[in-house]
Chain A
Amino acid sequence: MSTEKENSKFRTGSFKTPDNYDNELRNELQLKTVLDAHKNDFKVPEGYFDSLSKEISRKKVTPVRSISGNIWLRISAVTAVAASLLVAVLWLQSTQECESFACLIEQTELQPDDLIWVESSYIEEMYSDELGSSFSDEEEKIIDLAVEEDWDLEYLLEE
């Protein structure tokens, strides 16, 4: 009849375990028990995954428009918006007494011939240029007004 000690020797043979292995194994098994009992305690709002897939589907067909990470482009964009607002305010103030195109022309040094440049494609090109335009503020007021109200420039120049 073999003793308990002999049985133990038979089970382990000459294989050894690292120091403190028993403790580590016991801890790991306890942890496994805890983890298995709590595999997912994070919750999501009701219907979340339905709305998530729809939101992703919507975003992938409508890419979010964003300005690139370039700080100078961001500054330019902010400056352009601020300048447009300022021009609009100044224009409103300066044109309060003007009701005719001639009056507006008089308020600036812009010559009617200069307006040959005031065409949508040119304006777009000019504003897309990071260097900005070479027009004065007063001239830009006229250009803004012309673009905004879609004036018939050829007709005006003929006049």
Chain B
Amino acid sequence: MNQLSEEQILTQLKSPSQRSRAFDQLVLLHQQSVYFYVRRMVVDHDDANDIVQNVFIKAWKAIDGFREDSKISTWLYRIATNESLNFIQKQKRIAGIPLEDVEEQLPGRLENDVLYDGDEIQRRLDAAIAALPEKQKAVFILKYFDELKYEEIAQITDTSIGALKASYHHAVKKISESVVKG
């Protein structure tokens, strides 16, 4: 099956007879980027899997409300960000684990994770990312790993570009201190 471009998908999404197939194409086009973004946010594969499915089902239910004032990928990242932040908040309420403990515990957890093959530096890096405040973490991942522009991240997170730049700078500083200085 040939993959359609985002423009072709958008056109077909407006046609009731083509909508379902077009949405399947949209999933194929964006599932990996959405998954790895969510996975970096929540770390665990099973949690990420649940969240990604929710993201696309919510997108499907709300597709009529998509106003095309942003790219559809930006809209998906926005839903994914909200879902991930809600999940993290819920986890924190349930477990009551302080962020510092996350940073200490995560390298050990990752070492035993069969779906993770990072070395020691990578484990320290991912632990440092995991320990960032949630919104700072989202900004860092979107900017660094997903290589989005500040304008797009501003649409996703509803934050001003100035605040995003400051947030990214703080995140880089914290991660550098954790990883480079060890």
A-side residues, CB < 8 A to B, are 24, 27-28, 30-31, 34-35, 38-45, 49, 52-53, 55-57, 59-61, 64
Across the interface, which residues of A come within 8 angstroms of B35, CB to CB?
Answer: 44, 49, 52
A31–B32 touching, CB < 8 Å: no
Q: Which of B40, B49, B57, B117 contacts A59 (CB 8 A)?
A: B57
A40–B24 touching, CB < 8 Å: no
B116–A42 touching, CB < 8 Å: yes
Across the interface, which residues of A come within 8 angstroms of B125, CB to CB?
Answer: 34-35, 38
Across the interface, which residues of A come within 8 angstroms of B177, CB to CB?
Answer: 27
- At the interface, yes or no: B87 with Cβ under 8 Å from chain A? no
Question: Which residue on B lies nearest to A30, using beta carbons?
Answer: B180
Across the interface, which residues of A come within 8 angstroms of B57, CB to CB?
Answer: 56, 59-60, 64
**Count of chain B residues with a beta carbon within 8 Å of a chain A beta carbon:** 37
Known: A53-B27, A56-B56, A60-B20. A41 touches B176 (CB 8 A): no
Known: A30-B180, A60-B57. A42 touches B39 (CB 8 A): yes
B176–A28 touching, CB < 8 Å: yes
Across the interface, which residues of B come within 8 angstroms of A56, CB to CB?
Answer: 24, 27, 31, 53, 56-57, 60
How far is B180's CA from A31's CA once the two chains are assembled, in angstroms?
6
Known: A34-B125, A35-B144, A52-B52. A43 touches B116 (CB 8 A): yes
Across the interface, which residues of B come within 8 angstroms of A57, CB to CB?
Answer: 24, 27
- At the interface, yes or no: B102 with Cβ under 8 Å from chain A? no
- At the interface, yes or no: B173 with Cβ under 8 Å from chain A? yes
B32–A34 touching, CB < 8 Å: no
A53–B28 touching, CB < 8 Å: yes
